[in-house]
Amino acid sequence: MTEIHVLDNLASVDAAQWDALIADGNPFVCYAFLRGMEEHGCLRHDYGWQAHHLAIYHDGKLVAAAPAYLKGNSHGEFVFDFSWANAFERAGGDYYPKLLGAAPYSPVPGPRLLATNDTDKRKLVAGLVAETERLGLSSAHVNFLLEADLPAFDERWLQRFDWQFHWHNRGYRHFEAFLTGLTGKKRKNIRQERRQASDSGLQIAMEAGSTISDSDWRALHALYETTFDMKGNHAAMTLPFFRHLGRSLGDRVQVATARMDGRIVAMALFMVGNSTLYGRYWGSVVEVPGLHFELCYYLGIEFCIANQLQTFEPGAQGEHKMARGFLPTRTHSRHYLVNESFDLAVRNALVHEAHSREAYYEELMEHSPYAPTRPRP
């Protein structure tokens, strides 16, 4: 017998069955990451997050799932629909709450329909629509989808895309091999930035999550909070969640650290999938030229080369990443708007947005960091 359940947390779910549905080892939808957020205060009603996961069981076994949330705002999503919300509410509607399929606070492409076959993926999409209509919501959204999941969405779902900057491994044997493919100016600038960091006197290294002490996790979290404080934003990830990552994911968490007399004064935190490195959080209490690029980008590239990872996704936004070897890569989202008039208006706007973003890509590629005589990753 097949049953679909709606879950307000993952406590009742078997972790092994959940993780068996994730084909690419993406850490941002694994059980430990999502359940850890629920347990350690990262997802709260006053932050606008309420778990509303879909789970399909067959004869008592979990066969498909979709991490989903009722959202009271659009913060922490990175696919921006604030203008849609404003327009809908000016017309007298209630845009929030809405239903969101996503990895919270993580603008990382990955599986959102956790299933081993297309039939179950389509059932999950139908379940999202059914929940949206059952609860009388304005809309459902699924962000940062893998291309393999896109066919599960029919034409009733609006298509949207954007660009992130990713690095691709072309079988490089070492960092210098990567540099040889760049233009001379970009190669010179990267060497200069790396030299500035190495000449700083700081002890710089990549450290595995399983080796980090409790006191160092406290220091890492304080640096993470510093970054958000400087930007006037709220740091949603808690210290207990950081510690949980180290305990539960071990070496799938990597931290680039800069130490002064043994004390961590700057860091960049990464997560590791089967073939991809993901850059997540940065923080520093020192001003050192080149240090941000060394910790956030260059150590990550070296890690990918050493561990034969194919892709490095350093996070959302940031055209400056192109000068460090990262190229624009398309990201996908899908949106179901219940009101047909609203759907039509947004659908038309997305046509213009798509043209603008395609033109943006062409403009970016005119400034590719790779030498034209070399194959581009």
The pLDDT of residue 375 is above 50: no
- Look up the pTM and report it: 0.95
Amino acid identity at 372: P
Q: Greatest CA span in the chain, whole angstroms?
A: 65
Report the candidate in 252, 246, 248, 223 with the shortest Cα–Cα distance to residue 235.
Answer: 223
Give 84-116 pLDDT, tens digit per residue. 999 999 999 999 999 999 999 999 999 999 999
φ/ψ region of 217 (left if φ > 0, alpha if ψ in -120 to 50, else beta) reads: alpha
Q: What is the pLDDT of residue 343?
A: 98
Residue 232, beta-bridge partner list: none
Look at residue 191 and give its three-state secondary structure.
helix
What is the per-residue pLDDT for 2? 85
CA 188 to CA 209: how far, in whole Å? 33
End-to-end CA distance of the chain: 47
224-281 confidence digits (pLDDT tens): 999 888 777 788 999 999 999 999 999 999 999 999 999 999 999 999 999 999 999 9
pLDDT of 202-226, one tens digit each?
999 999 999 999 999 999 999 999 9
Beta strand pairing call for 53-58 and 2-7:
antiparallel
pLDDT on residue 358: 98
SS3 content of the chain, % helix, strand, coil (to 5): 40, 25, 35
196 CB-near residues (< 8 Å, 6+ apart)? 288, 289, 290, 291
Q: What is the reported pLDDT for 228?
A: 87
Q: Which residues contact 162 (CB under 8 A, 6 or more apart)?
A: 79, 330, 331, 333, 357
Percent of the chain at pLDDT above 70?
A: 99
Q: What is the pLDDT of residue 373?
A: 57
List of residues 6+ apart from 264 with CB closer than 8 A: 216, 219, 220, 223, 257, 258
Does pLDDT of 377 surpass 50?
no
In the chain, the domains with their CATH numbers are: 2-164+329-365 (3.40.630.30), 170-309 (3.40.630.30)
Share of the chain above pLDDT 90, in %: 93
Cβ atoms of residues 147 and 113 within 8 Å: no
